[in-house]
Structure 1
Protein backbone atom coordinates (compact mmCIF):
# COMPACT_ATOMS: atom_id res chain seq x y z
CA UNK A 1 0.00 0.00 0.00
CA UNK A 2 2.84 2.41 0.89
CA UNK A 3 4.59 1.68 -2.42
CA UNK A 4 1.38 2.35 -4.35
CA UNK A 5 0.78 5.62 -2.51
CA UNK A 6 4.39 6.74 -3.05
CA UNK A 7 4.17 5.82 -6.75
CA UNK A 8 0.93 7.80 -7.10
CA UNK A 9 2.47 10.88 -5.41
CA UNK A 10 5.55 10.70 -7.67
CA UNK A 11 3.34 10.29 -10.74
CA UNK A 12 1.20 13.35 -9.82
CA UNK A 13 4.34 15.41 -9.09
CA UNK A 14 5.87 14.42 -12.46
CA UNK A 15 2.69 15.39 -14.33
CA UNK A 16 2.50 18.71 -12.49
CA UNK A 17 6.15 19.47 -13.28
CA UNK A 18 5.69 18.54 -16.96
CA UNK A 19 2.60 20.73 -17.26
CA UNK A 20 4.43 23.63 -15.62
CA UNK A 21 7.22 23.25 -18.19
CA UNK A 22 4.69 23.28 -21.06
CA UNK A 23 2.91 26.42 -19.89
CA UNK A 24 4.20 29.50 -21.71
CA UNK A 25 5.90 32.18 -19.63
CA UNK A 26 6.49 35.85 -20.41
CA UNK A 27 8.85 38.42 -18.87
CA UNK A 28 9.67 42.02 -19.73
CA UNK A 29 12.45 44.05 -18.15
CA UNK A 30 15.10 46.73 -18.28
CA UNK A 31 18.86 46.18 -18.43
CA UNK A 32 22.17 47.97 -18.35
CA UNK A 33 25.74 46.87 -18.68
CA UNK A 34 29.35 47.48 -19.59
CA UNK A 35 30.96 46.46 -22.87
CA UNK A 36 34.68 45.85 -23.42
CA UNK A 37 35.31 46.12 -27.17
CA UNK A 38 38.06 46.38 -29.74
CA UNK A 39 38.13 46.89 -33.50
CA UNK A 40 39.91 44.28 -35.58
CA UNK A 41 41.20 44.83 -39.10
CA UNK A 42 42.66 42.50 -41.68
CA UNK A 43 46.31 43.13 -42.37
CA UNK A 44 48.37 45.58 -40.32
CA UNK A 45 46.54 48.86 -40.99
CA UNK A 46 46.19 49.64 -37.25
CA UNK A 47 46.25 48.00 -33.83
CA UNK A 48 43.30 48.21 -31.46
CA UNK A 49 43.15 48.38 -27.66
CA UNK A 50 40.13 47.34 -25.62
CA UNK A 51 38.04 50.22 -24.24
CA UNK A 52 34.94 50.30 -22.04
CA UNK A 53 31.50 51.36 -23.28
CA UNK A 54 27.94 50.85 -22.04
CA UNK A 55 24.49 49.47 -22.92
CA UNK A 56 21.03 50.50 -21.73
CA UNK A 57 17.67 49.13 -22.89
CA UNK A 58 14.81 46.60 -22.69
CA UNK A 59 14.53 42.82 -22.84
CA UNK A 60 11.68 40.35 -23.14
CA UNK A 61 11.54 36.58 -22.72
CA UNK A 62 8.95 34.12 -23.99
CA UNK A 63 9.49 30.56 -22.82
CA UNK A 64 7.85 27.17 -23.19
CA UNK A 65 9.00 23.62 -22.46
CA UNK A 66 12.34 24.72 -20.98
CA UNK A 67 13.36 26.84 -23.99
CA UNK A 68 12.93 30.54 -24.60
CA UNK A 69 13.38 33.31 -27.11
CA UNK A 70 14.70 36.60 -25.75
CA UNK A 71 14.50 39.68 -27.99
CA UNK A 72 16.28 42.79 -26.72
CA UNK A 73 16.68 46.40 -27.83
CA UNK A 74 19.28 48.66 -26.31
CA UNK A 75 21.36 51.75 -26.97
CA UNK A 76 25.06 50.87 -27.02
CA UNK A 77 28.23 52.93 -26.97
CA UNK A 78 31.15 50.79 -28.17
CA UNK A 79 34.69 52.12 -27.89
CA UNK A 80 38.10 51.02 -29.11
CA UNK A 81 41.60 52.44 -28.98
CA UNK A 82 43.39 52.80 -32.32
CA UNK A 83 47.10 53.05 -33.05
CA UNK A 84 48.41 53.25 -36.62
CA UNK A 85 51.08 50.70 -37.45
CA UNK A 86 52.95 53.32 -39.51
CA UNK A 87 53.67 56.41 -37.42
CA UNK A 88 52.86 57.17 -33.81
CA UNK A 89 49.33 58.52 -34.23
CA UNK A 90 46.74 57.05 -31.88
CA UNK A 91 43.28 57.85 -30.56
CA UNK A 92 39.86 56.43 -29.79
CA UNK A 93 36.90 55.44 -31.90
CA UNK A 94 33.31 55.32 -30.58
CA UNK A 95 30.34 53.64 -32.25
CA UNK A 96 26.88 54.54 -30.95
CA UNK A 97 24.14 52.20 -32.12
CA UNK A 98 20.75 50.68 -31.50
CA UNK A 99 21.41 46.94 -31.04
CA UNK A 100 18.72 44.29 -31.45
CA UNK A 101 19.78 40.75 -30.40
CA UNK A 102 17.42 37.82 -30.91
CA UNK A 103 18.58 35.14 -28.48
CA UNK A 104 17.51 31.53 -28.24
CA UNK A 105 18.22 29.73 -25.01
CA UNK A 106 17.38 27.34 -22.26
CA UNK A 107 17.04 27.81 -18.52
CA UNK A 108 18.16 25.28 -15.92
CA UNK A 109 16.85 25.66 -12.40
CA UNK A 110 13.83 25.52 -10.16
CA UNK A 111 11.54 28.32 -9.09
CA UNK A 112 13.03 31.79 -8.92
CA UNK A 113 16.68 30.68 -9.27
CA UNK A 114 18.06 29.47 -12.58
CA UNK A 115 20.94 29.57 -15.03
CA UNK A 116 20.64 30.33 -18.74
CA UNK A 117 22.57 29.51 -21.91
CA UNK A 118 21.76 31.82 -24.85
CA UNK A 119 22.98 32.52 -28.39
CA UNK A 120 21.75 34.20 -31.53
CA UNK A 121 22.20 37.01 -34.04
CA UNK A 122 22.53 40.70 -33.17
CA UNK A 123 21.61 43.50 -35.58
CA UNK A 124 23.19 46.96 -35.08
CA UNK A 125 21.91 50.24 -36.49
CA UNK A 126 24.49 53.04 -36.30
CA UNK A 127 23.40 56.24 -34.59
CA UNK A 128 26.61 58.27 -34.52
CA UNK A 129 30.36 57.78 -34.69
CA UNK A 130 33.29 59.69 -33.24
CA UNK A 131 36.95 59.44 -34.14
CA UNK A 132 39.81 61.32 -32.50
CA UNK A 133 42.39 60.66 -35.21
CA UNK A 134 41.57 61.67 -38.75
CA UNK A 135 43.58 59.39 -40.98
CA UNK A 136 42.61 55.98 -39.59
CA UNK A 137 39.55 55.98 -41.78
CA UNK A 138 36.74 58.19 -42.98
CA UNK A 139 33.46 57.68 -41.10
CA UNK A 140 31.53 58.37 -44.28
CA UNK A 141 32.87 54.97 -45.37
CA UNK A 142 31.28 53.18 -42.39
CA UNK A 143 28.11 51.19 -42.92
CA UNK A 144 24.95 52.19 -41.08
CA UNK A 145 23.98 48.58 -40.27
CA UNK A 146 25.95 45.52 -39.23
CA UNK A 147 25.36 41.95 -38.09
CA UNK A 148 27.06 39.84 -35.45
CA UNK A 149 26.66 36.69 -33.42
CA UNK A 150 26.27 36.79 -29.65
CA UNK A 151 26.34 34.09 -27.01
CA UNK A 152 26.75 33.70 -23.29
CA UNK A 153 25.55 32.60 -19.90
CA UNK A 154 23.24 34.19 -17.39
CA UNK A 155 21.60 33.74 -14.02
CA UNK A 156 18.16 34.65 -12.68
CA UNK A 157 17.48 35.31 -9.01
CA UNK A 158 13.81 36.16 -8.62
CA UNK A 159 13.29 39.31 -10.76
CA UNK A 160 17.01 40.09 -11.10
CA UNK A 161 19.20 38.90 -14.00
CA UNK A 162 22.93 38.96 -14.71
CA UNK A 163 24.58 38.08 -18.03
CA UNK A 164 28.09 37.50 -19.38
CA UNK A 165 28.25 37.52 -23.20
CA UNK A 166 30.65 37.58 -26.11
CA UNK A 167 29.75 39.37 -29.35
CA UNK A 168 31.64 38.73 -32.59
CA UNK A 169 31.03 41.03 -35.55
CA UNK A 170 30.27 39.24 -38.82
CA UNK A 171 29.89 42.32 -41.05
CA UNK A 172 32.71 44.43 -42.39
CA UNK A 173 31.96 47.83 -40.81
CA UNK A 174 33.88 49.72 -43.48
CA UNK A 175 32.27 50.03 -46.91
CA UNK A 176 35.79 50.15 -48.37
CA UNK A 177 36.51 46.44 -48.92
CA UNK A 178 40.29 47.00 -48.84
CA UNK A 179 40.06 47.76 -45.10
CA UNK A 180 37.94 45.03 -43.48
CA UNK A 181 37.01 46.04 -39.88
CA UNK A 182 34.93 44.09 -37.31
CA UNK A 183 34.01 44.75 -33.68
CA UNK A 184 34.56 42.14 -30.96
CA UNK A 185 33.16 42.69 -27.49
CA UNK A 186 32.63 41.13 -24.05
CA UNK A 187 29.66 42.45 -22.05
CA UNK A 188 28.53 42.17 -18.44
CA UNK A 189 24.91 43.18 -17.89
CA UNK A 190 22.36 43.34 -15.10
CA UNK A 191 18.61 43.66 -15.37
CA UNK A 192 15.31 43.48 -13.59
CA UNK A 193 11.98 42.05 -14.73
CA UNK A 194 9.17 44.59 -14.48
CA UNK A 195 6.46 42.16 -15.73
Structure 2
Protein backbone atom coordinates (compact mmCIF):
# COMPACT_ATOMS: atom_id res chain seq x y z
CA UNK A 1 0.00 0.00 0.00
CA UNK A 2 2.83 2.38 0.91
CA UNK A 3 4.62 1.60 -2.37
CA UNK A 4 1.45 2.36 -4.36
CA UNK A 5 1.00 5.72 -2.62
CA UNK A 6 4.68 6.59 -3.10
CA UNK A 7 4.47 5.62 -6.79
CA UNK A 8 1.33 7.79 -7.21
CA UNK A 9 3.04 10.78 -5.53
CA UNK A 10 6.11 10.38 -7.78
CA UNK A 11 3.89 10.19 -10.87
CA UNK A 12 1.99 13.36 -9.87
CA UNK A 13 5.28 15.15 -9.15
CA UNK A 14 6.71 14.14 -12.54
CA UNK A 15 3.63 15.41 -14.38
CA UNK A 16 3.68 18.67 -12.38
CA UNK A 17 7.36 19.27 -13.17
CA UNK A 18 6.81 18.59 -16.86
CA UNK A 19 3.85 21.01 -16.83
CA UNK A 20 5.90 23.74 -15.16
CA UNK A 21 8.26 24.08 -18.13
CA UNK A 22 11.26 24.96 -15.99
CA UNK A 23 13.31 25.78 -19.06
CA UNK A 24 12.55 28.92 -21.08
CA UNK A 25 10.55 28.45 -24.29
CA UNK A 26 10.54 30.73 -27.31
CA UNK A 27 8.25 30.75 -30.35
CA UNK A 28 7.75 33.12 -33.30
CA UNK A 29 5.08 32.81 -35.95
CA UNK A 30 2.52 34.29 -38.32
CA UNK A 31 -1.23 34.57 -37.81
CA UNK A 32 -4.44 35.40 -39.66
CA UNK A 33 -7.96 35.72 -38.39
CA UNK A 34 -11.50 36.99 -38.74
CA UNK A 35 -12.93 39.69 -36.49
CA UNK A 36 -16.60 40.25 -35.73
CA UNK A 37 -16.90 43.89 -34.59
CA UNK A 38 -19.58 46.13 -33.19
CA UNK A 39 -19.41 49.77 -32.19
CA UNK A 40 -20.97 50.83 -28.91
CA UNK A 41 -22.06 54.44 -28.68
CA UNK A 42 -24.06 56.55 -26.27
CA UNK A 43 -26.48 59.16 -27.51
CA UNK A 44 -25.50 59.58 -31.16
CA UNK A 45 -26.36 56.18 -32.67
CA UNK A 46 -29.22 53.83 -32.03
CA UNK A 47 -27.68 50.63 -33.29
CA UNK A 48 -24.45 48.93 -34.35
CA UNK A 49 -24.61 45.66 -36.26
CA UNK A 50 -21.78 43.17 -36.19
CA UNK A 51 -19.75 42.94 -39.41
CA UNK A 52 -16.78 40.76 -40.38
CA UNK A 53 -13.24 42.10 -40.80
CA UNK A 54 -9.79 40.50 -40.80
CA UNK A 55 -6.35 40.47 -39.13
CA UNK A 56 -2.91 39.60 -40.53
CA UNK A 57 0.35 39.70 -38.59
CA UNK A 58 3.05 38.10 -36.47
CA UNK A 59 3.40 36.90 -32.89
CA UNK A 60 6.07 35.77 -30.46
CA UNK A 61 5.91 33.87 -27.17
CA UNK A 62 8.44 33.68 -24.35
CA UNK A 63 7.59 31.36 -21.47
CA UNK A 64 9.05 29.97 -18.28
CA UNK A 65 7.59 28.04 -15.35
CA UNK A 66 4.22 27.55 -17.04
CA UNK A 67 3.59 31.25 -17.76
CA UNK A 68 4.28 33.23 -20.92
CA UNK A 69 4.27 36.69 -22.48
CA UNK A 70 2.97 36.85 -26.04
CA UNK A 71 3.41 40.15 -27.90
CA UNK A 72 1.73 40.40 -31.28
CA UNK A 73 1.64 42.91 -34.14
CA UNK A 74 -0.97 42.80 -36.87
CA UNK A 75 -2.89 44.84 -39.40
CA UNK A 76 -6.64 44.82 -38.71
CA UNK A 77 -9.68 45.88 -40.69
CA UNK A 78 -12.63 46.29 -38.31
CA UNK A 79 -16.06 46.72 -39.88
CA UNK A 80 -19.32 47.76 -38.23
CA UNK A 81 -22.85 48.41 -39.46
CA UNK A 82 -24.53 51.47 -37.99
CA UNK A 83 -27.93 53.10 -37.82
CA UNK A 84 -28.24 56.76 -36.84
CA UNK A 85 -30.94 58.29 -34.69
CA UNK A 86 -32.61 59.51 -37.90
CA UNK A 87 -32.80 55.91 -39.21
CA UNK A 88 -29.97 56.06 -41.77
CA UNK A 89 -28.11 52.78 -42.29
CA UNK A 90 -24.42 52.60 -43.18
CA UNK A 91 -21.16 50.72 -42.78
CA UNK A 92 -17.89 51.87 -41.25
CA UNK A 93 -14.39 50.43 -41.65
CA UNK A 94 -11.59 51.10 -39.14
CA UNK A 95 -8.13 50.10 -40.38
CA UNK A 96 -5.48 49.88 -37.68
CA UNK A 97 -2.13 48.47 -36.65
CA UNK A 98 -2.80 46.57 -33.39
CA UNK A 99 -0.26 45.57 -30.74
CA UNK A 100 -1.59 43.29 -27.98
CA UNK A 101 0.70 42.19 -25.13
CA UNK A 102 -0.80 39.02 -23.68
CA UNK A 103 0.05 37.28 -20.43
CA UNK A 104 -1.01 33.69 -20.08
CA UNK A 105 -0.48 30.12 -19.09
CA UNK A 106 -0.38 26.89 -21.07
CA UNK A 107 -1.67 23.52 -19.90
CA UNK A 108 -0.65 20.40 -21.77
CA UNK A 109 2.07 17.92 -22.48
CA UNK A 110 4.57 18.19 -25.29
CA UNK A 111 3.32 19.70 -28.53
CA UNK A 112 -0.39 19.65 -27.57
CA UNK A 113 -1.76 22.19 -25.11
CA UNK A 114 -4.42 24.74 -24.24
CA UNK A 115 -3.81 28.39 -23.35
CA UNK A 116 -5.57 31.12 -21.41
CA UNK A 117 -4.40 34.69 -22.17
CA UNK A 118 -5.31 38.31 -21.41
CA UNK A 119 -3.73 41.73 -21.64
CA UNK A 120 -3.87 45.22 -23.13
CA UNK A 121 -4.14 46.00 -26.84
CA UNK A 122 -2.94 49.25 -28.42
CA UNK A 123 -4.47 50.28 -31.76
CA UNK A 124 -2.99 52.86 -34.13
CA UNK A 125 -5.26 54.13 -36.93
CA UNK A 126 -3.92 53.54 -40.44
CA UNK A 127 -6.38 55.46 -42.56
CA UNK A 128 -6.44 59.25 -42.62
CA UNK A 129 -10.24 59.26 -42.55
CA UNK A 130 -12.48 56.50 -41.33
CA UNK A 131 -14.34 55.24 -44.40
CA UNK A 132 -18.11 55.29 -44.16
CA UNK A 133 -20.66 54.26 -46.75
CA UNK A 134 -23.28 56.40 -44.97
CA UNK A 135 -23.54 58.74 -43.15
CA UNK A 136 -20.62 60.91 -44.29
CA UNK A 137 -20.79 63.32 -41.34
CA UNK A 138 -18.68 61.16 -38.96
CA UNK A 139 -15.49 63.04 -38.16
CA UNK A 140 -13.02 63.64 -35.32
CA UNK A 141 -11.75 60.07 -34.94
CA UNK A 142 -8.64 59.53 -32.84
CA UNK A 143 -5.41 58.15 -34.28
CA UNK A 144 -4.97 55.64 -31.42
CA UNK A 145 -7.03 53.76 -28.86
CA UNK A 146 -6.55 51.16 -26.14
CA UNK A 147 -8.51 48.12 -25.10
CA UNK A 148 -8.31 44.88 -23.20
CA UNK A 149 -8.24 41.48 -24.85
CA UNK A 150 -8.60 37.97 -23.50
CA UNK A 151 -9.32 34.48 -24.66
CA UNK A 152 -8.44 30.85 -25.02
CA UNK A 153 -6.26 29.00 -27.48
CA UNK A 154 -4.87 25.64 -28.45
CA UNK A 155 -1.48 24.52 -29.72
CA UNK A 156 -1.08 21.43 -31.87
CA UNK A 157 2.61 21.12 -32.74
CA UNK A 158 3.40 24.26 -34.80
CA UNK A 159 -0.24 25.26 -35.38
CA UNK A 160 -2.22 27.55 -33.08
CA UNK A 161 -5.91 28.44 -32.86
CA UNK A 162 -7.28 31.33 -30.77
CA UNK A 163 -10.71 32.61 -29.76
CA UNK A 164 -10.61 36.08 -28.19
CA UNK A 165 -12.78 38.98 -27.07
CA UNK A 166 -11.58 42.58 -27.33
CA UNK A 167 -13.26 45.40 -25.41
CA UNK A 168 -12.35 49.02 -26.15
CA UNK A 169 -11.36 51.10 -23.12
CA UNK A 170 -10.83 54.47 -24.80
CA UNK A 171 -13.28 56.37 -26.98
CA UNK A 172 -12.67 56.26 -30.73
CA UNK A 173 -14.29 59.65 -31.36
CA UNK A 174 -13.19 63.01 -29.89
CA UNK A 175 -16.80 64.17 -29.46
CA UNK A 176 -18.70 61.00 -28.53
CA UNK A 177 -18.54 57.88 -26.42
CA UNK A 178 -17.79 55.20 -29.04
CA UNK A 179 -15.91 51.99 -28.26
CA UNK A 180 -15.15 48.90 -30.38
CA UNK A 181 -16.11 45.44 -29.16
CA UNK A 182 -14.88 42.48 -31.15
CA UNK A 183 -14.72 38.68 -31.18
CA UNK A 184 -11.87 37.17 -33.18
CA UNK A 185 -10.96 33.69 -34.27
CA UNK A 186 -7.46 33.22 -35.58
CA UNK A 187 -5.08 30.57 -36.77
CA UNK A 188 -1.31 30.72 -36.72
CA UNK A 189 1.86 28.84 -37.43
CA UNK A 190 5.12 28.96 -35.47
CA UNK A 191 8.33 28.55 -37.41
CA UNK A 192 10.65 28.69 -34.37
Regarding TM over 0.5, the answer is yes
Distance 2:104 2:136 in 1: 42
**C-alpha displacement of 1:46:** 3.3
Matched residue, 1:184: 181
Q: CA deviation at 1:134?
A: 3.3
For structure 1, list consecutive stretches of 5 or more residues without a partner in the other structure. Answer: none
The 2-side partners of 1:16 and 1:135 are apart by 58
**Residues 98 and 124 in structure 2, CA contact (< 8 A), matched pair in contact too:** yes
In the comparison of the two structures, how many residue pairs are matched? 186
Tell me what 1:38 maps to. Answer: 38
CA distance 1:19–1:168, change in 2 (3 Å): closer
Shift of 1:44: 5.1
Tell me how large the CA RMSD over aligned residues is: 2.3
> What residue in structure 2 maps to residue 164 of structure 1?
163
Asked whether the 8 Å contact 1:98–1:124 carries over to 2, the reply is yes
Cα offsets for 1:84-125 (capped at 9, x unmatched): 122x32110000000000000000000010000000000000
TM-score (norm 1): 0.88
**Which is further off, 40-49 or 153-162?**
40-49
Match in the other structure for 1:25 = 25
CA distance in structure 2 between the partners assigned to 1:15 and 1:99 by the alignment: 37
The Cα of 1:58 is off from its aligned counterpart by: 0.2
Structure 2: segments with no counterpart, 5+ residues: none
Query: Moved runs in structure 1, 4+ residues, more than 4 A?
Result: none
Assess if the C-alpha contact under 8 Å between 1:84 and 1:136 holds in 2. Answer: no
Are the structure 2 counterparts of residues 63 and 134 from structure 1 closer, same or farther at C-alpha, using a change threshold of 3 Å?
A: same
Residue aligning to 2:60:
60
- Once residues 16 and 67 of structure 2 are traced to their aligned partners in structure 1, the CA distance between those partners, rounded to angstroms, is 18
Q: How has the CA–CA distance of structure 1 residues 37 and 19 changed in structure 2, closer, same or farther, with 3 Å as cutoff?
A: closer
> Is the 8 Å Cα contact of residues 105 and 115 (structure 2) preserved in structure 1?
yes
Q: Distance in 2 between matches of 1:125 and 1:19?
A: 37
